[in-house]
Structure formats: structure tokens, C-alpha cells
Amino acid sequence: MSDTVRSAAFREEHHIFREQVRRFVLQEVTPHHDRWEREGQVDRELWRKAGAQGLLCPNMGEALGGPGGDFLHSAIVIEEMAREGCSGPGFFIHSEMVAPYLVNFGTPSQQQRWLPGMASGEVVGAIAMTEPAAGSDLRGMKTTATRAGDRWLLRGQKVFISNGQLADLAVVAAKTDPRDRNSVTLFLVDTRSPGFRRGRNLDKIGVHAQDTSELFFDDIELGDDCVLGQPGDGFRQLMHGLVPERLAIAVSCQAKAEAALAWTVDYVSQREVFGAPLSTLQNTRFRLAELHTDAAVGRTFVDDALNRHMHGELDATRAAMAKLWVTEMLGRVVDACLQMHGGWGYMREYPIARAWVDARIERILGGSNEIMKEIIARAVMPGAQSAQPPKESRR
Ligand SMILES: Cc1cc2nc3c(=O)[nH]c(=O)nc-3n(C[C@H](O)[C@H](O)[C@H](O)COP(=O)(O)OP(=O)(O)OC[C@H]3O[C@@H](n4cnc5c(N)ncnc54)[C@H](O)[C@@H]3O)c2cc1C
């Protein structure tokens, strides 16, 4: 991925930051990633080191304790981790999904309590929406927060929560009015609170170094100072975060596809079959030509989306298109690249093997690709209802 052919509006300060992030990834992340994959999570110390280098919450203002960059700084961290195949550190969830809730909806005292620690890496954040029986259709969630005097009692469980084992802060979605399916409130839950329990670090097929957990809330007592914004405002808040979240997924997957192609070009140039490099076979040449064209199309769309987002002009439909198209493209690219590696592509010692399995989740999380299609279809055919509408999906 050459910076010179990018149309995103990176400036000199971004190029300098990219070099710094690249060094950090090579020195502090890649040498440990195999061990983290075996252990199921990254070292806690990594978060502090990343915070000290300004890699956490890169676009958070200095007044809130952040490094004061913009979304292009965030994109750089996402891209540099992606192109080295470092799927373990859950920085993107922490920086681009959790912190923005506090930045956008937190009171000054909530911001002061949590945000400087999130930028420094002292506090790891998680976002807990999904439940065993409620993912795409979040309004089916069962977790409740009921009033008990001047406190709230949070009861329920979440599943598939990224950073769940390491989290110090969980933003938890709960129903607060049993008569109203739409009444969801977001709570800031300190994971040291009595009644908070972490379940299993889930056994996934890929992304092994990232902790993904069940979380349980056994009547956790919370004050009003733990409510984010107004009670019942949760869905509006969740919607607010979806554009940058989906853009970030597209940014990451684009970089992953470009990395897979670079590894594969290297491999086919060196691997000999029938007395000549694989790269001389027409099938290899044509497949790589097609895949590079796919990646070039994705790059143009992603950089355009980044530029739009920088100007506050990226809408939900275009963000859904970016997430849909780039995650599907990544799936095609890693599968074809693995094929070109032959049996070695199936061995985890080759990065393409991990990239292939890690890529599979991208079509499911952040709103599944079927939900992305619903969002796009609603925008292009505003008058036409789906025969099977996602009745009250958040997505
Ligand atoms: C590794 C990993 C990390 C995750 N991290 C987090 C996290 O940090 N926080 C969090 O809250 N959640 C997280 N999730 C959960 C993730 O967001 C959900 O898995 C996702 O939203 C899908 O929900 P579901 O698994 O319940 O599938 P379901 O909603 O049950 O969907 C099953 C299938 O039906 C399809 N479908 C559903 N509705 C429709 C429709 N209306 N039209 C057509 N098809 C439809 C879906 O696309 C999917 O293919 C994570 C999941 C994984 C696996």
C-alpha cells in the first residue's frame, strides 16, 4: 500500500505518524502476536505502551486527554495493524467505538473519569450490545436496568464482547422500560463493580489473540452518574456511532486485502512449479490482475469515504456500502491468495492462512452484510418495504 497513490487527504504530519505507528507495530506487536494467539489475549502492558505513543483514541481532542489528531490518524493505526496481520489488539473497538460514546454523549465528569485513562491505556473499553438471542435485532435484548430508589439495578448477560476479558469499562445497553421495546439506555459499567462477572474467553475459529467474552451482570447497582445521556436514548446513540464504525471496518479490510496481495505476489515470484516461478503461469497472472483491480476499486471507494467523513459528509448508506463491498472483496482476495499458496497457504506459519480465517468475521460483525443490504435497499427504494423487514433492528 503506497501512500503516494492514496487519494485520502493525508498530510505530512500523517506520514510522520504512519512511520511511528509502523515502528511500534514491528517492535511491540508482531514479535508477540504468536504468543498472544496461544494465550487468547494480548498483554495488558501493550495498551499502556500504545497509549504512551498516541495510538489510542488518536482523534480525541487534547482537552479530553487525547492526542488531538483526526480520523486519518485513526485510519493509520487501523491500516498499519491490519497490514501486519495483527488482529489481536482491540484498539479499534476501544478508540473508534467506545470512546466516541463518551466524547459525544458523556457529561464532563464522566469524560474526566474515563477518557484520559482510555487515551493512556490505563483503561480498556468494551461495548456490550449483543446477547445470546439478540444480535441483528437488538430490540430483542433481555438485559434490563430497573429503578430501585435512586439507583439502577443492571441484570442480564451479553455475548461476543470484544476486549471482554481485559475491559475496565463496558458501555452496556439495557432495557429501562419494560413496556417499551425501544427504550434502551446505555450504562457506563466499571468492571470492578460488585455483580460484574466475566464469562469464558470464547473459542473462536480465528482472531485468536483478541479476547471475545461473555459478560454477566448480577444486579449491579449503578447511580445516575453511570447513565450515558438520557434514559431511553440508547438507540439514537448507537446509530450515531455506526458510520465511523463501518468506515473503520472498511479501512481495515482494505488494508488487509492489499497486504494479502503483497504476500502473494512475493510468494508466486519465488515458488517454482514445473521449473518456472508460479508468477509465469497465465492463471496466476490473470487472477492477480483481477484481484489487484478489485483492490484498486476498493481503495478508491475507501479513500473517498475517508475524505467524505473528514468533511462530515459520509452518510449511513455509503458507510454501509463501504462495509459491504470491502468485506466481501477481502473474502474473495484472501481465498484466491490462499489457493495460490497451495498447501503452504493452509499452514498457520504463513500469514495468508491466518488472514483467510480472520477475514471471515468481517462479513458478520459491525452489522452483518445482510443488514448492510437492507440499509442500502431502504435508501435506494425508500417507498418499498422488505417482504421480511428487520422489524425493529438497530442496524
Ligand atoms: C468475534 C466477534 C466479535 C464481536 N464483537 C462484538 C462487540 O464487541 N460488541 C457487541 O455488542 N457485539 C459484538 N459481536 C456481535 C456481532 O455484532 C453479532 O454477531 C452480529 O451483529 C450478528 O448478530 P448475531 O450473531 O446474533 O446473528 P443474527 O442476528 O442471529 O443473524 C443470523 C443471520 O441472519 C441474518 N439476518 C439477520 N437479520 C436479517 C434480516 N433482517 N434480513 C436478512 N438477513 C438477516 C444475519 O445477517 C446472519 O447471517 C461480535 C461478534 C463476533 C463473532
Q: How confident is the model at residue 388 (pLDDT cuts 50, 70, 90)?
A: low
Span 88-110, average pLDDT: 97
**How does pLDDT run across 139-175, given as a tens digit for each residue?**
999 999 999 999 999 999 999 999 999 999 999 999 9
84 catalytic? Reply is: no
List the beta strands (DSSP E) in 7-68.
none
Label the pairing between strands 169-175 and 125-128: parallel
**How does pLDDT run across 221-277, given as a tens digit for each residue?**
999 999 999 999 999 999 888 999 999 999 999 999 999 999 999 999 999 999 999
Three-state secondary structure of 129-148? CCECCECCCHHHCCCEEEEE
214, 245, 362, 374: the catalytic one is 245
**Which part of the chain is CATH 1.20.140.10?**
241-380
Q: How confident is the model at residue 4 (pLDDT cuts 50, 70, 90)?
A: very low
**How does pLDDT run across 13-67, given as a tens digit for each residue?**
999 999 999 999 999 999 999 999 999 999 999 999 999 999 999 999 999 999 9
**How does pLDDT run across 167-182, given as a tens digit for each residue?**
999 999 999 987 888 8
- Give me the residue label for grid cell 484481484: 291
Record the pTM. Answer: 0.96
- Give me the residue label for grid cell 506459519: 349
Span 90-111, average pLDDT: 97
Q: Which CATH architecture has domain 3-123?
A: Orthogonal Bundle (1.10)
Span 327-352, average pLDDT: 98
Span 114-143, average pLDDT: 96
Got the DSSP string for 149-197? Answer: TTEEEEEEEEEEEETTTT-SEEEEEEE--TT-TT-EEEEEEETTSTTEE
Q: How confident is the model at residue 390 (pLDDT cuts 50, 70, 90)?
A: low
Q: Smallest Cα–Cα separation from 168: which of 90, 63, 64, 279?
A: 90
For 199, the 3-state DSSP assignment is strand
Sign (positive or negative) of CA dihedral 244, 165, 236, 55: negative
Q: Give the pLDDT confidence score for residue 395 in this predicted structure.
A: 44
**Which part of the chain is CATH 1.10.540.10?**
3-123
Q: Give the pLDDT confidence score for residue 7 in this predicted structure.
A: 86
Per CATH, the number for 126-232 is 2.40.110.10
Span 76-94, average pLDDT: 97
Q: Which CATH architecture has domain 241-380?
A: Up-down Bundle (1.20)
**Ligand 1 mutation pick, 98, 136, 137, max ligand atoms within 8 A of CB:** 136
Q: How confident is the model at residue 278 (pLDDT cuts 50, 70, 90)?
A: very high
212 lines ligand 1 (CB under 6 A): yes
133: amino acid identity, one letter: A
245 lines ligand 1 (CB under 6 A): no
